[in-house]
Amino acid sequence: MCIKVIGAGLAGCEAAWQIASRGIRVQLFDMKPHKMSPAHSNENFGELVCSNSLKADRLASAAGMLKEEMRQLNSLLMECADKTRVPAGGALAVDRIRFAQMITDKIKNHPLVTVMDTEVDVLPTAGISVIATGPLTADSLANNIKGKFGGALSFFDAAAPIITADSIDYSCAFSASRYDKGDGDDYINCPMNKEEYEIFYNELINAHRTPLHNVDVQNPKVYEGCMPIEVMAQRGMDTMRFGPMKPVGLRDPKTGHRPWAVLQLRKENTDGTLYNLVGFQTNLKFPEQKRVFGFIPALKNAEFARYGVMHRNTFINSPQLLNADFSLRTNENMFFAGQLTGVEGYMESGASGLLAGINAARRYGGQDTVVLPPETMTGSLASYISDSNVVNFQPMGANIGILPALPEHIRDKRLRAERYGERSIETLKKLIALEEI
């Protein structure tokens, strides 16, 4: 007997690891390497598609709180992330190739995990399973899920380009972290004056985009957190300057002044040979990306290691289907995890896989499943995606707003965030000490 985990992305690998770590055999199914989704590019498990940043790492933040909870629960993803991190100021960013390779090696070398490199077309009908096929679930299985549970929801996600370090014009750039956070050279900043920015803006909003296939191209839903830069630009001339190109907290050493706008480049790998265009997710045609982004002075000769892409993401209507332990209400032996459930973000996906894996193992062993308290970020996400009162369900990432209010009033925003983080970890540690998880 074993537990089946369908999908070897972040959620699936975390679920499989949690199950195997509890002494239970796992069959992990993934269609790689025989078949790739439109957004994936290599055979490794846990491949990061959009960005190599896992967001803020400080406990006094929603993203940092979630990651620390995962560390407390012996997360495979957090172990690999901490070991493959690259400089990124106050964020946790990773060398995405080393990160995915480490996950793959650990999964494949675990004696209780059997990897099945085959595509799954239909949901399992017997036994305990975790469905973690992600937002790019293959058509056959996606149609099977829709047939059982009604029409799945969808939105569009985009990834930013990656350029080579030696193609950056450093005479038009400077190294610094915003507000001097980090080691000072965590980001390469590409400043623009007002005239340069306005030329870039006009070229961007008029550039040719890649057509979206098999979708309602007249009104596609775009996830706000990964909005293509050209879509953002259409909202107004200064929208980018208050978003990914904001110059606040930066000073160009050549002029002694704050630039009009700044594109930040973040290390993509440990060696620093590749850089990611932060916040520049895009659906422009490949030649247009090279042409338009070349209007940024530091990128006029940029060589692209990977162009930005846009892809469709699918998720189920979890508030009508799932319990807070990530099990299906109509079949509590079947668990769902990852972005397929409507949690949004890398670590949110991993955290859902972690909890689904723990609960699948507990179900296998005849134990009650665990529902984490809403004072934890993982518990709040699980509560949100399983709340039958939620209408017009849309993907939700970690944020302070979904946590229950603190009993005490703390006016200072930073101190209030710190208290939320402290409460989360205190709550979780008590459960672990009582062996309730």
At residue 355, does pLDDT exceed 70?
A: yes
Q: Return the CATH class of domain 162-308.
A: mainly beta
Crossing angle of helices 346-364/377-385, nearest 10°? 80
Q: From CA 215, how far away is CA 263, in angstroms rounded?
A: 31
Minimum mean pLDDT among 31-40, 140-149, 182-191, 390-399: which range? 31-40
> What CATH superfamily is the domain 3-155+314-433?
FAD/NAD(P)-binding domain (3.50.50.60)
Is 347 within 8 Å of 55 (Cβ atoms)? yes
Other Cβ atoms within 10 Å of 249 Cβ, number: 13
Nearest Cα residue to 197 out of 285, 287, 128, 258: 258
Nearest Cα residue to 69 out of 424, 435, 433, 431: 424
Average pLDDT, the chain: 90
Q: Where are the domains of the chain?
A: 3-155+314-433, 162-308
Q: From CA 243, how far away is CA 267, in angstroms rounded?
A: 20
Q: For the whole model, what pTM was predicted?
A: 0.79
pLDDT score recorded for residue 219: 46
pLDDT score recorded for residue 213: 53
At residue 380, does pLDDT exceed 90?
A: yes
Q: From CA 359, how far away is CA 337, in angstroms rounded?
A: 11
pLDDT in tens, 209-250: 987 654 444 445 555 567 899 999 999 999 999 999 999 999
Side-chain-side CA neighbours of 394 within 13 Å: the count stands at 8
Domains 3-155+314-433 and 162-308 share a fold: no
Is 283 within 8 Å of 210 (Cβ atoms)? yes
